[in-house]
Every structure is written in structure tokens, then in C-alpha cells.
Amino acid sequence: MKIKFLKYHGAGNDFILIDNRFQKYSLKNYQIKFLCHRKYGIGSDGLIFLNHSDDFDFEMIYHNSDGNQSSMCGNGGRCIVGFAKHLNIIDSKAKFLAIDGIHEARIHKSSRISLSMSNINSIKNNNKFVFIDSGSPHHIIQVNDIDKIDVFKMGLKVRSLKKYQPKGVNVNFIEKVSSNIFKIRTYERGVENETLACGTGAVASAIAMHYIGETKQNKILIKTLGGDLGIKFEYDSNKSSYHRIFLEGDINLVYEGDIELL
């Protein structure tokens, strides 16, 4: 079976994008895992199918690099909007369905995309960490020197905590740079390693810093290993909830090709 694909990345968070509007492909988890493998396959943090939708511009189906279908991926959501533009499905705006609901997006420039994210109505804070589900579950730890953190070792330890089983959790380490600038590093479940960026992690971390009083800003710059991501939101103090949340940053088409699955 020959598969046509495009590879995109958003802040170094890379994805295989496949047009599946006509249900041409029905891949097994082990096949997706093979395609995402950086030694034997194409290599990526995840694989995304763009499916047909009767009610929206398209539907996004996201798989982590372990082959399993997973929760929302923010940078993947931005990349699929660029892919939809490439396929002439949309112009400069998109409204699509993902596993956590409806998302809207706007292409500001050819490669800069902002994406609406799910509202956040529940936050857990125990002074040692903050837990937020921003479409995917995130455990956020504030640190003083992020460059010295062993993200793989510490991330795997937290990801494997009994309370987060069986699916695990994404683990974010965040350092304050200024009133509205933070650096983060993320261990992603399903990838089971540190990634260069994580969109839902950037959103969750920005919201966490606002919630615990580390910033009063509602426009925050998150610096990842792979590039900068902008987060903006509105806060309802009466309900301690966050809405009109947007994730913004550049995306890049890396290459396109065909691969034969035996």
C-alpha cells in the first residue's frame, strides 16, 4: 500500500499529515508506529489523518508516535490547518472537529497560525505542581534552572505515577523569564520522550502561571526548544475559568513524499 503524505512541524513538534477524506487508508497501530519511527520510518512525534466532515471543514484524527489514537495536539492542530490550506479545503479560516470538540483557526500569514483551544474550567494546585487538562492532561512543575533538568528521567517518573494510570500524563517544566515570558520543556506521553515543543503543554503552562499568580498578563510568550509560541486568553475570576484561549505560532512544511507499506 502506497501512502502519500506531507510532513510539517510547529516549533519543532513534527507530524506526518495524510489526506484521508475518502477513507482510503485504515492503518493499524503498529503501522502508524512504524511510520513515526525515526530510524525505520518517516520519523515524527505523531501522525494526523485529515478526514471528511459533513458539518465542519474537516475532522482531525491524531495518533501519537506509539501508534495509539490520542487526545488533542495543539501544534498538530495548527499544522493540519496549514495542510487543509495546501489541499485547498480552506482559505484563511478553518473550523474543524477534533477529539476534544470544535476548534477554529486563522492563518495570519502563510506560515503563522492561531488556533482556538478548549475552555479550562478545572485546575488542581497543590503548591508543588499544577494539573490542567487543556485538551490533553498536563502536570506542570515550576523550576529555577530549566536547562539543568533531566526531562526524560523526571518526566518519566511523573508520567508513571499510579494516579495517572493507565494512560499517563504529559509533564511540563517551566521557568519564569519575565512577567510575560516563560521557558518550558515537556515530556510527552505516547512519544515517551522530550519533544521540542508541545502546544497543549504551552497552553496549560501559561494558564498555570497565571492561576498561581506568577503573571498577571493574559498574553504570554512561551519559549520552547523548537521555537516561540504565543498564548492569549480571557479569565473569569468569578468562576476561576479560562476561555477564548488561543495558541499561535509558525508552522513549516518540511517535505512531501510517498511511502510503501508492506
**Which residue do the cell numbers 503563522 mark?**
112
The model's confidence at residue 206, banded by pLDDT at 50, 70 and 90, is very high
Rama region for 213: left / alpha / beta (φ>0; ψ in -120 to 50; rest): left
Burial code (b: 16+ CB inside 10 Å, e: under 16) for 48-75 equals bbbbeeeebbbbbbbbbbebeebbbbbb
Nearest CA among 89, 85, 84 for reference residue 48 = 84
- Residues of the chain with pLDDT > 70, as a percent, come to 100
The model's confidence at residue 76, banded by pLDDT at 50, 70 and 90, is very high
Residue 225 has pLDDT above 90, yes or no: yes
Residue 239 has pLDDT above 90, yes or no: no
Predicted local distance difference test score (pLDDT) of residue 156: 98
Predicted local distance difference test score (pLDDT) of residue 109: 81
- Residues of the chain with pLDDT > 90, as a percent, come to 97
User: Which amino acid is located at 261 in the chain?
Assistant: L
Task: Find the largest Cα–Cα distance for the chain.
Answer: 57
Average of per-residue pLDDT values in the chain = 97
Model pLDDT for residues 79-113, shown as the tens digit of each residue? 999 999 999 999 999 999 999 999 999 999 879 99
Long-range contacts (CB closer than 8 Å, 24 or more residues apart) made by 149-154: 149/173, 149/185, 151/185, 151/186, 151/187, 151/194, 152/187, 152/193, 152/194, 154/187
Predicted local distance difference test score (pLDDT) of residue 110: 78
Residue 212 has pLDDT above 90, yes or no: yes
Model pLDDT for residues 109-133, shown as the tens digit of each residue? 879 999 999 999 999 999 899 999 9
* For residues 148-159, average pLDDT: 98
Catalytic residues: 73, 198
User: Which amino acid is located at 139 in the chain?
Assistant: H
- Please indicate whether residue 106 or residue 238 has the higher confidence score (pLDDT): 106
Let me know: does 250 contact 240? Beta carbons within 8 Å: no
> What does the chain come to in residues?
262
The model's confidence at residue 60, banded by pLDDT at 50, 70 and 90, is very high
Walk me through the domains of the chain, giving residue ranges and CATH numbers.
2-112 (3.10.310.10), 123-250 (3.10.310.10)
Model pLDDT for residues 3-38, shown as the tens digit of each residue? 999 999 999 999 999 999 999 999 999 999 999 999
Q: What is the C-alpha separation between 131 and 123, in angstroms, rounded? A: 6
Model pLDDT for residues 170-201, shown as the tens digit of each residue? 999 999 999 999 999 999 999 999 999 999 99
